[in-house]
Amino acid sequence: MLNAISMSSSSMPLAPPVATADFCKGMRHLAGACVVIASGNDREKAGLTATAVCSITADPPRLLICVNRNVFAHEVIKRAGAFSINVLAHDQEFIAKRFAGMVEGVSGEQRFAQSNWAAGVTGVPLLEDALVSFECRLAEVIPASTHDMFIGEVVGIQGVQAQQSPLVYFNSRFAALK
C-alpha cells in the first residue's frame, strides 16, 4: 500500500503540468546508463533498452524499473515473475539499438541474436558480456500512469567488468563515458 502526502490548495498554488514536448526536451539532458531489461525463459523472451533504473535499498537489495504497459516485455515480465537489468559497455551500442527497435527488420526474440545470453537462476536471460547483470525476482508492481513500476529483489549479480567504460544516453545520442 502506498502512502501519499497531499498538499492542501491553501499551502501551494495549483500549477498545471508542463507540456509533454517540453518535458521530453528537458529529459534529453539527463544522462543515463544504457541497460537492456530482459525477461522470459526458453519458451519466450522479450527485452527493451532503458536508461531509467533506480536502486531502492541495499538491504534487502532492490531495484526499480518502469515499463510501458503497451510493450510486449511488460507482460513477459509479469508472467515470468523475474527480470534482468544488463548494464551495457561503451562498445555495445549495437545491442542497445537492437533492443530499442532501431535496427530495421529486427524485432521480438531476434533482438537476442548476435550477443551471448545465458539463463539465470530464475530462467531470465542474462547478457554474458555486460558490465554487470542484475537478476531480479519481481517483488512488487506499482501502477503509474501508462507504465508500471516493477520492483525487483536482486537474487544474482554477474559479469562485473570494472575495466570497461559504460554506454550512456544523452541528448538523444549514445556516448561512451571515459
Is residue 24 assigned to a domain? no
Q: Which three cell numbers stand for residue 17?
A: 503540468
Is residue 103 assigned to a domain? yes
Give the domain extent around 147.
33-172
Is residue 92 assigned to a domain? yes
User: What pLDDT sits at residue 130?
Assistant: 95
CA proximity to 140, closest of 77, 95, 91: 77
Number of domain units in the chain: 1
Query: Cβ neighbours of residue 135 under 8 Å, at least 6 residues apart?
Result: 82, 84, 120, 121, 122, 124, 126, 154, 155, 156, 157, 158
Is residue 22 assigned to a domain? no
Is residue 65 assigned to a domain? yes
Q: Going residue by residue through the chain (178 aa), what tens digit of pLDDT does each one get? A: 445 554 444 577 889 889 988 888 888 888 788 999 999 988 999 999 998 899 999 999 999 999 999 999 999 999 999 999 999 999 999 999 999 999 999 999 999 998 999 999 999 999 999 999 999 999 999 999 999 999 999 999 998 666 788 999 988 888 887 6
**CA angle 96-100-104, nearest 5°?**
105
CATH number, domain with residue 120: 2.30.110.10
Is residue 83 assigned to a domain? yes
Is residue 162 assigned to a domain? yes
User: What pLDDT sits at residue 87?
Assistant: 96
Is residue 12 assigned to a domain? no
User: What pLDDT sits at residue 162?
Assistant: 66
